[in-house]
Structure 1
Amino acid sequence: MGVLTDPGAVRAAELPISVGQQALWMLHRLAPGSAAYNDAGAARFIPSPDVSALTEAVEIVTERHDLLRSRFVEDDGMPVRLVDATGPGLRVDDVGTVDDRQLADLVATVAGEPYDLARGTARFRLLRRAAGDAVLVCGNHHIASDAASQFVLWRDLLTAYQARSAGRRPDLPALTWTWNDQVAAERRKLAGPQRASWTSYWRTVGRQVPAGELPSDRPRPARPAYQGDTVTVEVPATLERAVQDRAMTLGVTPFAVQLAALQALIHATGGARDFLIGCPMSLRRSRPTLPAIGYYVNMVLLRATVDPGGSAADLVQAAARELRAAAAAAALPYPHIVRALDRGRDAGPPYRIAITQVDARLAFGPDRFDGVVHPFEVPRLQGQYDLGVEIARGEHSSEIAFRYDRELFAESTIRRYLGAYLRILAAAAHDPGTPVGRLDAVVEPPIVRI
């Protein structure tokens, strides 16, 4: 091992790092000032929380999950992971008499602050108003977290806060799986016999297939700045039930219906019949991984082969088959998938649009706290690619977020795309016999390339 940029941490430098983390580290070096891979969650406390108890809760959680106190530094041109003895701690900012809009802007600023991975990958910031309430922002760089990790973080943090507020130690389940275990398991799989079959699958799926795209407002820059924004809408309850019922009728998951609607939108707006989109898939395949925090996702490629004369139900069934096949080969890290495609430098990235589903159900009930705690909207993971579609399942409803590249799209265009997506989703759910080639009739007003 060569000379570390942090020579005082030789022992910690030998901790392993996953292939996916290596890729994120390289992306960070390309655009260190971007917030594209900033993940975050926020909650509003009414009244403001007990700072002493919350400080202790943050310490408990960062001690429990070592990726929250990890740093990534360079050793002979490659990243290595260092683990500090203590975490970043809780920072309290008194923000005075700001109104709700100003408070939301402050939350967005905290969530969007770029990370210096050599200094840390997590932050905990309490924004306290003179009115007596406060918003807690918990942020992570994606290299140390994923959507499920946000759920784990908030569950553990709120459990610890409730316990410390009452003077008790929190009753958190023992962790039997570490990030080192995950990386070791990845290395064993890559050295095993299945790697050849996974590689063969991905080469067959996407070697000569273009990335799916939506018509943009502006030309694509030579080098992306990874600057994004988000448009979010709550899914009408009637539509959510219709999607669930149609999925049950077809013997697929609701996500297969939602995926097919996105594929139909790409076809309807540009005419593409054969294309790829990305889909982050969970690598949490065993019970011990569920309570852990880490980068337990891998981007996979989903191929759409659209027959305009085929029915919406046919497209849904094909999407379900693609999801099952991709899940079976998802253990091959995305950089190896790209290598298997052997597309050449001029072919462009394998995907420019991605879709994912996350579980946003987390109890903030008043029975747990002396006061009210509820989620607070915070921007996250914006500008990674042309468009990222996130379906978030909540306690009582679901939301769909379109996270887009501001260099390519105007907000008004994204809102039209989102409206068109919802109409296609409704058409597929209510009338699955509709030919895919007729779904473009619900894409109004016309969307054209400028």
Structure 2
Amino acid sequence: MAWPRQRTEWLPLTLGQLDFWQEYRAHRGKAVSTVAHLTRLHGDLDHAALSAAIRDCIAESDVMCLRFRERDGIPEQMIDPALAPVLREMDLRGETDPDSRARSMMQEDLDRPLDLLTGPLAAQWLVRTDDNDWMWYCRGHHIFLDGYSMALIERRVARLYAHHATGDDPGDPFLPFPDYLREESEYRASDRHASNGAFWQDRIAAAPRLAVLDKGSEDYPQTQRCAATDLHHLSAPLRTAGERFGMGWPDALTLLTGLWLWGHPESDQGRACTDRVVWLPFQSRMGSVGSRIPAMAVNILPFRVAADPTHDLTETLRNMARDLRKHRRHGRYRIEQITLDQGIPAGRRYFFSPLINVMPFDPPRLPGADIGQEVLAAGPGDGFNIGFAADSCGDGLTLYLEADPRLTPDALFRHHADGLPRFLQQCLCDDDGAASLQELLRLSPA
């Protein structure tokens, strides 16, 4: 359970947080880096237990009450209990359309920019829309929350609900946020950090030239091209193919999508290039205290896709998987440090596009409840983004595409939206994996 939170000293920001601070400074007054999830709950739930679980989780989550300041041009952060969000409970059962009313209120909240210098930055709502229906709204800023953090919070609330409702063991509380900052500082001073840096120096030197942009020049579109495609019929074939290729299904999906982009680099003509770079999020939490602390810990790394179109799919994926494992062994090394190592000044950064993000997160499970989840806001994205969401077994697989309409014409966007699912199905239904990439890409729509 939670312990009394104390106001601490001013603390430094991590490299990842500094990047979001600079973005905030460049786009102050704009709702750019808000993150928010909506969890819908249906069932005969104990409302008091659910409220208590969310309040307890707030009390355990240091990052929900972070205060920021800038001193002599250097940003700092402090855990300030006065900024902890108060659970806002609303009963809309008397409304004509309670769901629409709740969503309208959430959108109004999302449209308001979050000011890091004034706060507060986190919000927790519990909205009752019917006798057996609730909407739990969890919102924060990307400077202290990433997708894994949201999943941590959701699972923790589920565990605490079971405790309050049925007397189950509440489990271990979150660790203090300063523990994560301390571990990051120790890693950056370690020999491992130096060896990881050498690895990335070599990798960047061997990769195609990476696009760079000026921080603050991002003109994030108000409206993106978006598409969502139900791929639940590919869940079982994907698990089978992962076993056949000798890797987990998330890696198989990531690599297959990388091959699709490799074969369709700039147009919808289906011509394969020699190699290209895609960007992959990396959850640097394995073996870290970050596995028990909500924080902005996700990294983003370049992955070079190089293949021979005459080779068969199995050989190609196994070679790529070996390379991906190498990347992950060095994945804690921050992209911001890689950028500095390459001599790119602090006012510039890499253009993270195209990006492939596979999110194999189990939804929270509450006794007696059916759960549905939506990502309402996930922060900014560059260029072209391909996301997949499913539970840890791959069930409920859904493809999400987002693109800046100024960079991705409608015809090209529709080509990816239609062609990628077909390409995945072709690859997953190639039972022996003997088809060449050339054959598989020729089968995809041109």
TM-score in terms of structure 1 length: 0.81
Distance 2:347 2:19 in 1: 20
Q: Aligned pair in 2 of structure 1 residues 416, 61: CA closer, same or farther (>3 Å)?
A: same
Tell me the equivalent position of 2:219: 224
Contact 2:11 2:76 in 1 (8 A): yes
**Aligned pairs (5 A) from 1:160-239:** 160-164=160-164, 171-175=169-173, 177-207=175-205, 209-211=208-210, 223-225=218-220, 227=222, 229=224, 230-237=226-233, 239=234
Residue 301 of structure 2 is matched in structure 1 by 300
| Structure 1: unaligned runs, 5 residues or longer | 1-10, 213-220
Post-superposition shift, 1:363?
4.2
**Greater CA drift, 93-102 or 379-388:** 93-102
Correspondence for 2:159? 159
State the secondary structure of the residue aligned to 2:350: coil
The one-letter amino acid paired with 1:91 is: R
- Alignment equivalent of 1:266, drawn from 257, 261, 264: 261
In the alignment, which of 53, 56, 61 is matched to residue 60 of structure 1? 56
Shift in CA distance, 248/191, structure 1 to aligned 2, threshold 3 Å:
same
In 2, distance between residues paired with 1:211 and 1:228?
A: 26
In 2, Cα distance between equivalents of 1:364 and 1:155 = 7
Q: How far apart in 1 are the matches of 2:443 and 2:103?
A: 35
Query: How far apart are the structure 2 equivalents of 1:377 and 1:145?
Result: 16
C-alpha change, 1:329 and 1:183, in structure 2 (3 Å) is same
In structure 1, distance between residues paired with 2:290 and 2:99: 38
Q: 5+ residue gaps in structure 2?
A: 1-6, 267-271
The aligned counterpart of 2:390 is: 393
User: Aligned AA for 2:437?
Assistant: V
Q: Which residue of 1 aligns with 2:17?
A: 21
Aligned to 1:139: 139
Equivalent residues of 2:340, 2:346 under 8 A apart = no
Further displaced range: 425-434 or 44-53: 44-53
Q: Secondary structure at the match of 2:228?
A: strand
When the two structures are superposed, what TM-score results if normalisation uses the length of structure 2?
0.82
The CA distance in 2 between the partners of 1:67 and 1:348, in whole Å, is 26
Alpha-carbon distance, 1:35 to partner: 4.5
For 2:402 and 2:44, how far apart are their aligned partners in 1? 31
Q: Give 1:378-417 correspondences, 5 Å limit.
A: 378-381=375-378, 383-394=380-391, 396-409=395-408, 413-417=412-416
CA contact (8 A) 1:259 1:319 kept: no
Change (3 A) 1:102 1:182: same
- Equivalent positions of 1:4-403 (< 5 A) are 12-46=8-42, 53-86=49-82, 87-93=84-90, 96-98=95-97, 100=99, 103-104=102-103, 106-111=105-110, 113-118=112-117, 119-129=119-129, 133-164=133-164, 171-175=169-173, 177-207=175-205, 209-211=208-210, 223-225=218-220, 227=222, 229=224, 230-237=226-233, 239-269=234-264, 270=266, 271-286=272-287, 288-342=289-343, 349=350, 351-365=352-366, 368-369=367-368, 372-381=369-378, 383-394=380-391, 396-403=395-402
- CA 1:424–1:311: 2 relative to 1, 3 Å: same
- CA 1:55–1:76 in structure 2 vs 1: closer, same or farther (change >3 Å)? farther
> How many angstroms apart in 2 are the aligned matches of 1:93 and 1:176?
27
Q: 1:67 Cα shift?
A: 0.6
**In structure 1, C-alpha distance between the alignment counterparts of 2:102 and 2:405, rounded to whole Å:** 23
Structure 1 CA distance for aligned equivalents of residues 422 and 407 of structure 2: 23
Residue 64 (structure 1) shift: 0.7
* 1:267 alignment partner, SS class: helix
When the two chains are superposed, the root-mean-square deviation of aligned CA atoms in Å is 3.4
**What amino acid does structure 2 have at the position aligned with 1:140?**
G
Q: Read off the aligned partner of 1:333 and give its amino acid letter.
A: R
Cα distance change on mapping 1:323 and 1:53 into 2, 3 Å = same
- 3-state DSSP of counterpart to 2:36: strand
SS at match of 1:82: strand
The one-letter amino acid paired with 1:185 is: E
- Equivalent in the alignment of 1:435: 436
Amino acid paired to 2:441: D
1:163 Cα deviation after fit: 4.4
Residue pair 1:382, 1:403 contacting (<8 A) in 2 also: no
The residue type equivalent to 1:340 in the other structure is D
Does the Cα contact within 8 Å between 1:257 and 1:428 map onto a contact in 2? Answer: no
The offset of 1:50, in angstroms, is: 6.8
Give the counterpart letter for 2:193 in structure 1: R
| 8 Å contact kept, 1:391–1:398 | yes
Decide whether the 8 Å contact of 2:66 with 2:78 is kept in 1. Answer: yes
Letter in 2 for 1:190: R
Distance in 2 separating the partners of 1:75 and 1:222: 25
Tell me whether 1:420 sits opposite 2:415 in the alignment.
no
Number of the residue aligned with 2:269: none
Q: In structure 2, what is the Cα distance between the partners aligned to 1:345 and 1:274?
A: 28
Question: Does the C-alpha gap of structure 1 residues 345 and 291 become closer, same or farther in structure 2, counting only changes over 3 Å?
Answer: closer
Separation in structure 2 between the aligned mates of residue 303 and residue 384 of structure 1, nearest angstrom: 20
Inter-partner Cα distance in structure 1 for 2:411 and 2:90: 35
Q: Structure 2 vs 1, CA of residues 194 and 160 (structure 1 numbering), >3 Å: closer, same or farther?
A: closer
Shifted more, 222-231 versus 77-86: the winner is: 222-231
CA contact (8 A) 1:36 1:228 kept: no
